[in-house]
C-alpha cells in the first residue's frame, strides 16, 4: 500500500487532460491529498491548495504522486530536481507512468540514500498465487464492457461512493494504475504474468463480511481480441455475484480495431453471464451503465429510457445521474 495522504505533483502539465490521474484522486479520494504542486509553466489545476514540498510535509503528506501524464509516459528531466528534493525531505514517490521511477538511476539512488520507497504502480509488487477457485465470503460486483474505455472504472468508483454514502459496506478494488493511485493499492492486472491473472484477482478480493461488496474495476472486454484474456481472468478470478454492463453507444467499431464491430448489450449480457456462472452460478446482471458523453443533454434521457425498456434493467449514466439506481438494484439481490 502507498502511504496517504499525498501531495499531487502536476509538474509542467501542458493542459488539464494531462492531469487526469491527479483529477481522479481529487474527485474520488479528496481526503487522500493535502494539496497540489505545480511548476511555473503548469497549465493544469485540480483546485487544491498549491503547496511547496515543505508546506505539504508540514500538512502531513507522506507520498508525492506523479499526477500528470507526459506524452510517451516519460519521467521528464525537468521534474528530477523536485523529485530528488522530495525524496531527501522524506516523501515516497508513486507513479503510474510507463517509464519506471526505479529505472532512473538518480531517483533510485536518492530513494536508497534517504530510505524512501518508489512505487511504480504499473508493475506488480506481489508474487500472486495461481487461482484456486474456492468460494469466498462477502459479495462482489464487476463492471464488464462492450468495449475498452467505456467507463468501467468510473462506474465502480461511483457505486462504491454511493454505497459508502449510504453507510453500506463497500470497497473499490482497482485493477489499473489510475485506480491504484486513487485508492493507494490494487493489482495492475494487465502487467501480471498470464498464469497468475485469476489468482491476482482472488488475492485482490479476499473473504469479507457477508454484507460487504467489492466493486472490482473491469478491464478490456470479452469482445476486444487484444485484451479479452484479461477480462476473462476478472470474471473467473472475481467470482462476481453481480455484473454491471458498461456501454458507449456512439462507437463505430471496437477501440483500436477498425475491423471489429461492437457487440450489442444483449450479446454482452448473455456471454458475460454464461462465463461468470462457471465460477458463481448465482451471478446476475443488475444494471447498465451508459457513457452518454457524446449524446446531447436533451437526448440522453430518452436514449437511456429506450435501453432500459429493451433490456429490462436499470440503465443510467453515473456521470450525469449518479449511481443510486445501480446501488438500489444491487441492494435487492
Site for a copy of itself in 265-324 (CB under 8 A): 271, 274-275, 278-279
| Nearest distance in Å: CB 137, a copy of itself | 15
| Nearest distance in Å: CB 58, a copy of itself | 41
Q: Is 71 in the site for a copy of itself (CB under 8 A)?
A: no
Between 108 and 279, name the residue whose CB sits nearer to a copy of itself.
Answer: 279
| Nearest distance in Å: CB 246, a copy of itself | 18
Please answer whether residues 152 and 143 qualify as being in contact, where contact means their C-beta atoms are separated by less than 8 angstroms.
yes
Site for a copy of itself in 118-137 (CB under 8 A): 130-135
Between 254 and 323, name the residue whose CB sits nearer to a copy of itself.
Answer: 254
Residue 199, Cβ neighbours under 10 Å: how many?
Answer: 21
Number of residues near a copy of itself (by CB under 8 A)? 39
Cell of 43: 497549465
The pattern of x and - marking residues 235 through 274 that bind a copy of itself according to CB under 8 A reads: -xx----------------x-xx-xx----------x--x
For residues 78 and 164, give the distance between their C-alpha atoms in angstroms, rounded to a whole number: 40
Between 164 and 274, name the residue whose CB sits nearer to a copy of itself.
Answer: 274
| Nearest distance in Å: CB 75, a copy of itself | 20
Please answer whether residues 9 and 66 qualify as being in contact, where contact means their C-beta atoms are separated by less than 8 angstroms.
yes
Cell of 16: 488539464
| Nearest distance in Å: CB 255, a copy of itself | 11
191: Cβ contacts below 8 Å, ≥ 6 apart: 122, 123, 124
Between 57 and 236, name the residue whose CB sits nearer to a copy of itself.
Answer: 236
Calculated CA dihedral for residues 292, 297, 298, 304, nearest 10 degrees: 20
**β partners of residue 7:** 35, 64
Between 174 and 199, name the residue whose CB sits nearer to a copy of itself.
Answer: 199
Cell of 83: 523529485
| Nearest distance in Å: CB 185, a copy of itself | 19
For residues 287 and 325, give the distance between their C-alpha atoms in angstroms, rounded to a whole number: 8
Nearest one of 234, 328, 236 to 286, comparing CA atoms: 328
CA triple 15-16-17, angle to 5 deg: 95
Site for a copy of itself in 186-245 (CB under 8 A): 189-195, 197-199, 222-223, 225-233, 236-237
Residue 28, Cβ neighbours under 10 Å: how many?
Answer: 20
Q: Is 168 in the site for a copy of itself (CB under 8 A)?
A: no
Between 115 and 258, name the residue whose CB sits nearer to a copy of itself.
Answer: 258
Q: At 170, give phi and psi (nearest 5°).
A: -160, 145
125-128 contacts, C-beta under 8 A, 24 or more apart = 126/187, 126/200, 126/203, 127/196, 128/187, 128/192, 128/196, 128/199, 128/200, 128/203
For residues 176 and 26, give the distance between their C-alpha atoms in angstroms, rounded to a whole number: 17
| Nearest distance in Å: CB 193, a copy of itself | 6
The pattern of x and - marking residues 32 through 61 that bind a copy of itself according to CB under 8 A reads: ------------------------------
| Nearest distance in Å: CB 132, a copy of itself | 7
Residues engaged in binding a copy of itself (CB under 8 A): 130-135, 189-195, 197-199, 222-223, 225-233, 236-237, 254, 256-257, 259-260, 271, 274-275, 278-279
Amino acid at each position: 500500500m502507498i502511504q496517504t495522504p499525498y501531495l499531487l505533483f502536476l509538474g509542467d502539465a501542458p493542459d488539464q487532460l494531462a492531469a487526469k490521474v491527479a483529477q481522479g484522486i481529487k474527485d474520488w479520494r479528496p481526503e487522500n491529498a493535502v494539496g497540489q504542486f505545480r511548476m511555473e509553466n503548469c497549465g493544469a489545476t485540480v483546485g487544491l491548495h498549491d503547496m511547496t514540498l515543505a508546506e505539504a510535509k508540514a500538512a502531513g503528506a507522506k507520498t508525492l504522486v506523479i499526477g500528470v501524464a507526459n506524452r510517451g509516459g516519460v519521467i521528464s528531466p525537468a521534474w528530477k530536481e523536485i523529485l530528488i528534493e522530495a525524496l531527501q525531505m522524506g516523501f515516497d514517490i508513486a507513479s503510474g507512468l510507463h517509464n519506471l521511477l526505479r529505472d532512473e538511476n538518480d531517483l533510485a539512488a536518492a530513494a536508497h540514500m534517504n530510505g524512501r520507497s518508489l512505487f511504480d504502480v504499473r508493475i506488480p509488487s506481489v508474487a500472486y498465487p495461481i487461482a484456486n477457485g474456492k468460494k469466498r465470503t462477502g459479495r462482489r460486483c464487476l463492471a464488464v464492457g462492450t468495449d475498452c474505455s467505456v467507463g468501467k472504472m468510473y462506474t465502480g468508483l461511483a457505486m462504491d461512493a454511493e454505497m459508502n454514502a449510504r453507510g453500506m459496506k463497500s470497497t473499490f478494488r482497482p485493477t489499473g494504475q489510475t485506480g491504484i493511485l486513487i485508492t493507494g493499492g490494487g493489482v495492475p492486472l494487465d502487467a501480471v504474468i498470464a498464469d497468475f491473472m485469476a489468482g491476482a484477482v482472488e488475492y485482490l478480493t479476499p473473504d469479507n463480511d457477508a454484507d460487504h461488496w467489492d466493486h472490482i474495476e473491469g478491464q478490456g472486454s470479452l469482445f476486444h481480441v487484444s485484451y479479452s484474456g484479461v477480462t476473462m481472468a476478472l470474471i473467473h478470478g472475481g467470482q462476481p455475484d453481480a455484473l454491471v454492463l458498461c456501454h458507449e453507444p456512439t462507437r463505430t467499431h471496437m477501440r483500436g480495431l477498425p475491423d471489429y464491430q461492437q457487440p450489442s448489450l444483449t450479446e454482452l449480457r448473455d456471454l458475460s453471464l454464461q462465463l461468470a456462472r462457471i465460477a458463481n452460478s448465482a451471478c446476475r446482471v443488475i444494471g447498465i451503465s451508459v457513457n452518454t458523453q457524446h449524446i446531447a443533454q436533451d437526448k440522453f434521457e430518452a436514449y437511456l429510457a429506450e435501453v432500459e425498456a429493451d433490456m429490462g434493467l436499470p440503465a443510467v449514466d453515473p456521470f450525469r445521474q449518479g449511481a443510486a439506481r445501480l446501488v438500489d438494484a444491487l441492494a435487492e439481490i
